[in-house]
């Protein structure tokens, strides 16, 4: 076994490793959607963006995938997590990284840890989409700083709904909405799975979610 792979395996043992969603241009980090705090409440609300959660269906239900997701969740507060994740991303990722294609931040400390990784990988563009408004707000109110290479995208709660309010003071925070019909979309419309045969960000050559200059991105229902 090559030395590089031995290192990657050791780092993955600490962090739970990376996910590789087909829509993303590169790797991501995901945890079980069942642990989402706000998302779990929204799942019982008809008309919410979480009512038919894609991360509780399909491939996410395969036993090996569920085991990997839980392993990443269990790793989040490992004392070496920030160092190991930083090294893993430096080795595996070339340009862009997504946090939580499934799952969400679950505390201010979790967000601090992720920002520690972002600070340690300054040439990588990071994107974190979240519904945890209170957690992000508390982080900012406590003096937390979101680095320039991280875009935190606040997800709206309802289909065809409004953006999450209260973040006009931070340039690194943008917004994500989900529309039921293209005519109801606001902002930049995600081209992936928009009825045009495009199935990934790379295929569409669209990286709006990593761009803090794009204030609102709207996606069709998964």
The DSSP result for 133-155, as a single string, is HHHHHHHHHTT----TTEEEEEE
pLDDT tens digits, 21-47: 888 888 999 999 999 999 999 999 999
For position 98, what pLDDT does the model report? 97
Name residue 207's beta-bridge partners: none
The upper half-sphere exposure of residue 39, i.e. CA atoms within 13 Å in the direction of its Cβ, equals: 24
pLDDT at position 179 over 60: yes
Name residue 218's beta-bridge partners: 177, 189
The overall average pLDDT reported for the chain is 93
For position 22, what pLDDT does the model report? 83
Number of domains in the chain: 1
Find where tokens 């739970």 sit: 16
Environment class of residue 39 by beta-carbon count within 10 Å: exposed (0-12), middle (13-18) or buried (19+)? buried
For position 55, what pLDDT does the model report? 81
pLDDT tens digits, 127-142: 999 999 999 999 999 9
Q: What strands lie across the sheet with 216-220, from one edge to the other? A: 28-29, 96-99, 125-130, 150-155, 173-179, 216-220, 188-189
For position 6, what pLDDT does the model report? 92
pLDDT tens digits, 102-119: 999 999 999 999 999 999
Q: CA 156: distance to chain centroid?
A: 14
Domain that holds residue 145: 3-220
For position 136, what pLDDT does the model report? 98
For position 4, what pLDDT does the model report? 85
What is the percentage of the chain residues whose pLDDT exceeds 90?
81
- Where are the alpha helices (H) located in 43-107, listed in sequence order? 63-75, 81-92
pLDDT tens digits, 44-98: 999 999 998 888 888 888 899 999 999 999 999 999 999 999 999 999 999 999 9
What is the percentage of the chain residues whose pLDDT exceeds 70?
99
pLDDT at position 2 over 90: no
Bigger pLDDT: 55 vs 157? 157
């Amino acid at each position: 076994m090559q030395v590089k792979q031995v290192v990657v395996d050791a780092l993955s043992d600490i962090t739970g490793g990376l996910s590789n969603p087909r829509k993303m241009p590169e790797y991501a980090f995901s945890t079980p959607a069942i642990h989402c705090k706000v998302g779990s409440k929204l799942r019982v609300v008809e008309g919410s963006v979480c009512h038919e959660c894609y991360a509780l269906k399909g491939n996410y239900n395969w036993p090996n995938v569920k085991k990997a997701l839980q392993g990443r969740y269990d790793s989040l507060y490992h004392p070496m997590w920030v160092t190991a994740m930083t090294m893993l991303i430096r080795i595996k990722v070339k340009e862009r990284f997504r946090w939580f294609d499934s799952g969400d931040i679950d505390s201010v400390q979790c967000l601090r840890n992720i920002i520690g990784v972002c600070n340690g990988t300054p040439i990588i563009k990071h994107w974190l989409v979240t519904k945890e408004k209170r957690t992000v707000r508390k982080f900012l109110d406590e003096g937390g700083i979101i680095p320039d290479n991280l875009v935190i995208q606040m997800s709206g709660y309802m289909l065809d709904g409004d953006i999450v309010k209260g973040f006009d003071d931070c340039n690194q925070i943008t917004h994500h909405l989900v529309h039921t019909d293209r005519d109801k979309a606001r902002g930049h419309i995600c081209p992936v799975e928009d009825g045009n045969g495009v199935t990934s960000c790379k295929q569409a050559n669209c990286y709006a979610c990593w761009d803090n200059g794009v204030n609102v991105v709207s996606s069709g229902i998964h």
